[in-house]
Each structure stands twice: as C-alpha cells, then as structure tokens.
Structure 1
C-alpha cells in the first residue's frame, strides 16, 4: 500500500515494488505527479521492503519528469537501493535522446525511388517466372487446367456484360450528342457519325472496357490470392507439390487474354447502339442510313486496332492483380493491395494505350 501526503508533497514508497505489483503504484504515481505545482518533492524510502529493476525504472521515470520543474529529495534510502538507483539512472535513456527522426524532402524522394525500383524489379521477376511456367505448359499441355480457365472466363466476362453494356451505351450516346451539337454550328452535324464511331472503336470503348475489367477482375484476383495466402492454402499447395503459378496465375491470365477482345467487341456494339439512338433522335438519321454511313466511311482497321489492344490490356490487368495478391502478408494488407492493384492497372492501361495510339498514328494505321 502507498501512502500519499499531498500537502507535504512527499511520496512514501512502501512495501514491495516488484514487477507483479506495479499496476497500482503507477496509478498512484500519476495522481501524485499531476497534483504537483512546482513544489519541492521528497521520496521517502523508509518503508520500502523489496524493489526490482522494473520498480527502480518506474521511479527514475517520474523523478526525471519532476526534476524538470521541481527539486527532488530522496529520504531514508538504504545504501543498497541508492546504488541500484544510481546504476539505473546512469543508463536511463532520456526522452530527448529518443526523439522521432523526421526525414527531409530529398530523403523521402530517394526512399520512394528505391522502393519503386525494387517493386518494379520484383514485378519483372514475377513476369519472368510466369512466362517460364507458360513455356513449360506449352510442352506439357496435360498439366494445364482447362476447367479452371473456363471457370475464370465465365467469372471475368459473363457477370460484367450488363455493366459494360450500360456504361458504353451511355458514353456513345453522350459523345455523339456532344459532337453533333458542336458540329451543328458549322452545318456538319452528320459527320459526327464517323467521328464518334472511329474514336469509340480506336480509343474510348477498349479503354473504358479495360478500366471496368480492371476495377472488377484485378481487385478480385488480388483479394482471392491474398486470402489464400493468409489462410495458408498456397503454402499447403506448395507442400503437396502444386505450383501456385500454374494453378492460380496462368488460368486467370489466359482467361482474361481470351475474353478481353470479346468484351471490347461487345463494348463497341454497345457504344454504336448509343450513337444510333441519339443520331435518330437529334439528327433524324435512320438506323439504316447510320449503318450505311459507317460501312462507307469507317474502315475496318479502326475496330481492329481496338481489338488488338484488348489482349494486351487483359494480360496487364491479370498480371498486376495476381502479383499484388502474392504480396499480401496479413489480413490488413488485403484492402491495401486490392486498391494498389486497381490503381496500378489503370495507370499502366493509360500508358500502354497512349503508346499504342501514338505508334498507330506514326505507322498510319
């Protein structure tokens, strides 16, 4: 039991001050410390029986805090306890020597650059590993999981069709309407048909379809593989001699590479329907005239370019989604890496799409 005489500003250290009995004493020390108002303080050791290193360190902590504003006296302390107090005080780490280190702006840039470099090299290593297993499966087709690939194709494509249909129909509708409204000022509203159709086939439809797939499939792949890592299913697969890249990664990549051209073609048709509806309403162009004008002025190469991008988009989304899934280490990482998978996928989709578009213009395609 600890006795306090707050008027005298004396703290009486009684009985045992050992690790298992310090919880109550911490509360009493805090109460005593917050009651002080720059008075002289005395610690009375007259009734102390036993004290260990935990008790000594606790006392030193509050003595150091009080010494910042007041004088501290030690009363009736034995030579043994005084030696202990002096020994631990000489090795006590003061608060000012443990201040949190704050890095500067240049250092943060360097750390971020190194982190991005290591992450990129790790991603390249992952791509190399997956490519190696893909070559292995080409020469050993019996080990390829065709059923898993078909299942992943269904998951990646069938359930996302209504979203793509609605989104691209509205985008085609709005794009054609805005174009017709602007071109109508120059008396050339009719050419919005080929302009909007070419831009949809070449750029907008493939890119928007890929973004929708990235938001759904990349996050799904990361969450699925990350959950399997946390529940140690992947470790169990390795123990049984099954390689996770063959069983988890390659079926997802192949499935997305196959379905992306189909999804892009579906997105092209959906956007075309949106354009047809608005040109019928706004310009009075019949559906037959609309199709005839596309057939006459819009070349096949425009739709082929969009379809050519689709497998690359699918490969990129699947690789990033699976790679982020394998980075998960704990339950709290799933949300973090799922977000990273979607953001990274969209970022690289923008870069790849821009490069292909520039290259196609230079080549005259």
Structure 2
C-alpha cells in the first residue's frame, strides 16, 4: 500500500454519520464494498455520508458509494453527502446520471443453486433441440425414400470423395501402425511361452472386431465431423442458410442427408481397408520378430479368426457414420455468433462424436458378450 494514501475504509458513527476515508479506487474498494453489504442501515432517520476523508477516488469508488446511497434510501434514510471534493462530486454526478444504463448492462451474479438450475435448463433445451433435429432428419429421410429423385446425388458423390477417398492415406497409415504396435507388444509376451502362432489370433480378432472400426470412426470424426460443423456454421454466419430457405430449399435435404448417406457408404469401406492394412502390419512383425511366415500366418488366420468378427466390425461402421454425420451437422446448425462460435462448436462436434461412438461401441460389446458373439 502506498504510504501517502490510506486503505479505503468506512465506519458508522452513532448511527447517523458514515465516515468514508482512504483511497476509494478500484484496487482498494473491495473490502469497503463487502462492509457496506453487511451494514445495517438506520431506518427512517437522517444519514450523513462524511466524505472529506476520501483521498483518492475513481469510477469504481463512485459506483460503490452511489450503490450505498441507493441502499440507504431504500431503507428509508434521508441521505446527504458532505465534504466531497468538487471533482469527486462531478464524478458522482456522472455515475448517477448513467446509473440506469450501468445497471441494465451488468447482469446480477447468480448464486450456486441458480447456476445449477440454469445449467439443467440449458441441458434440457439442448436435448430437446437434438431430438427435434433427429426427428427432422428422419422425416426428410422418409421423404427421400419415397422420392429418391429428391436426393442431391452430386453433393452425395462429392462428400463420398472428400470423406472416403481422401481419407484413405491417413486411415491406412494409422491402422497399419496400430497393427504393428499390437503385434510387436504381443510378440514380447508370446515369445516367453513359445506360443508365437497365437499372434495371429491377437492381431486378427482385436483389429477386425474392435480396433479398426473404432480408429476409422475416430479419424473420420476429427476429419469429417469437424468439417461438417465448420461448413454449415460458416453458411449460417454468412446467412446462406437463410437464402436457401428463402428459395424454398430444405437445409436438411441439401446439406445433412447427402453427408449422412455418403458417410454411411464410406466408413464401412474405410473399415475394410483398415482391416487389411492393420493385419498386414501384424504380419510383418510376426515374420520379423516371431518367425511366423506369411503362409503360416494366413493359414492360422483362416482357422482362428471367424468371419463373424469381421462382420461385427463392419456392422458397427454405418452406425458410427450416422452418429458422426448427425452430430457434426447439428453442431453446425447451433452456431449463432461469429468466427469464435464456429471454432467452439467445431470442437464440441468432435468431442461429442468420439464420446458417442465409444459409448455405442461399449454397448455393442456388452450386448454381443451376452449373446455369446
């Protein structure tokens, strides 16, 4: 604290005089504000604010002092200020003249229970909005099935190219490396027990049934789901969606359904592609680390890895695709602000897509285990 300026303070003397002293500035006035909130004002009596002891004064101090004046008047006190320097009084006059606008712009701070209730209301509203969007998409899909000519085939094929063909390099590389890692880590354990050939079971079942479809879905969620949210959100910010509705075009049919259908076709194909490259990576490690030749690997693969494992992995892919596409498009339609809002909802779309994909995969694993599949 500066030696020349005392800390802001306030004290009530004999119930009629409120002495104000020290520095009533933004950094120093917080203790005074807390003390004034706890103060019991004398009802229906004259109250004098003795302000000659104020040594420094700024807008923050003026707001606190004026708020105290208003609170005292609400309690029935006849309030007056004495000893305030002319320049400080001018600042007080400025604050009082703009007080209504200042109160309107500053929202009252909510307590914990109010924030909790507001959060619950927001979650319920978001859930209702998501269900409404899902219903609109389902209705549009029914109309599309009844009249296939309504489908925008060019948009669908373009999405298939962007989300399927262009995703082949990164999907293939990552699943190949995943197969290498699984086989390499498994080889260290299997070598100890002389069961080298069981590397085929480890790589084949884990990749085909769980890892390859899940990795492909996560990649597509980060790559395509985020792109859906950003593209639709940008169109909404630039009012292109409003223009489409003005021309009588449905944004669901034009923007959502082509992406959903394209991803439903692309993701199973990417999963099959990931299966092949992941198993090939495991074959390389099995040959180099465990002396399991390609011929022995493939022979054991045919015996040990049942067809149902591959079908289960491929069967999950269309559901993953629907989740990713709908979440990405929905978050794009939720964008209300500018560029910052586009980035925020794009991030939300990726997080929600991956979360829902993993939840769905876990539910499938539990159900398939119950059914002994």
TM-score per shorter chain, which class? 0.7 to 0.9
Consecutive unaligned residues in structure 2, runs of 5 or more? 1-24, 26-50, 70-81
Pair 1:116 & 2:123 matched: yes
- Kindly report which structure 2 residues correspond to 1:261-272, keeping only aligned pairs within 5 A, or say none: 261-272=268-279
- Distance, in Å, in 1 between the alignment partners of 2:236 and 2:139 is 22
2:366 maps to which of 336, 348, 358: 358
- Kindly report which structure 2 residues correspond to 1:212-231, keeping only aligned pairs within 5 A, or say none: 212-231=219-238
- Distance, in Å, in 2 between the alignment partners of 1:337 and 1:41 is 49
Equivalent in the alignment of 2:254: 247
- Kindly report which structure 2 residues correspond to 1:110-189, keeping only aligned pairs within 5 A, or say none: 110-189=117-196
On the 8 A contact 1:313/1:349 being kept in 2, the answer is: yes
Equivalent in the alignment of 2:38: none
- Kindly report which structure 2 residues correspond to 1:22-41, keeping only aligned pairs within 5 A, or say none: none
Consecutive unaligned residues in structure 1, runs of 5 or more? 1-29, 31-37, 43-57
1:93 to partner: Cα distance: 10
Equivalent in the alignment of 1:343: 351
Equivalent in the alignment of 1:71: 83
Residues 1:72 and 1:248: Cα distance change in structure 2 (over 3 Å): same
Equivalent in the alignment of 1:287: 294
1:266 to partner: Cα distance: 0.6
- Distance, in Å, in 2 between the alignment partners of 1:348 and 1:360 is 18
* 1:166-211 C-alpha deviation (Å, 9 max, x unpaired): 1001111010111121122222232121122101111111001000
1:322 maps to which of 323, 329, 353: 329
1:102 to partner: Cα distance: 4.8
- Normalised to the residue count of structure 2, the TM-score between the two structures is 0.73
On the 8 A contact 2:212/2:271 being kept in 1, the answer is: yes
Equivalent in the alignment of 1:101: 109
Equivalent in the alignment of 1:48: none
* 1:26-64 C-alpha deviation (Å, 9 max, x unpaired): xxxx9xxxxxxx96689xxxxxxxxxxxxxxx8x94894
Q: Supply the RMSD in Å over aligned alpha carbons.
A: 3.4
- Distance, in Å, in 2 between the alignment partners of 1:73 and 1:282 is 88
- Distance, in Å, in 1 between the alignment partners of 2:198 and 2:349 is 40
On the 8 A contact 1:180/1:192 being kept in 2, the answer is: yes
SS in 1 for 2:164: helix
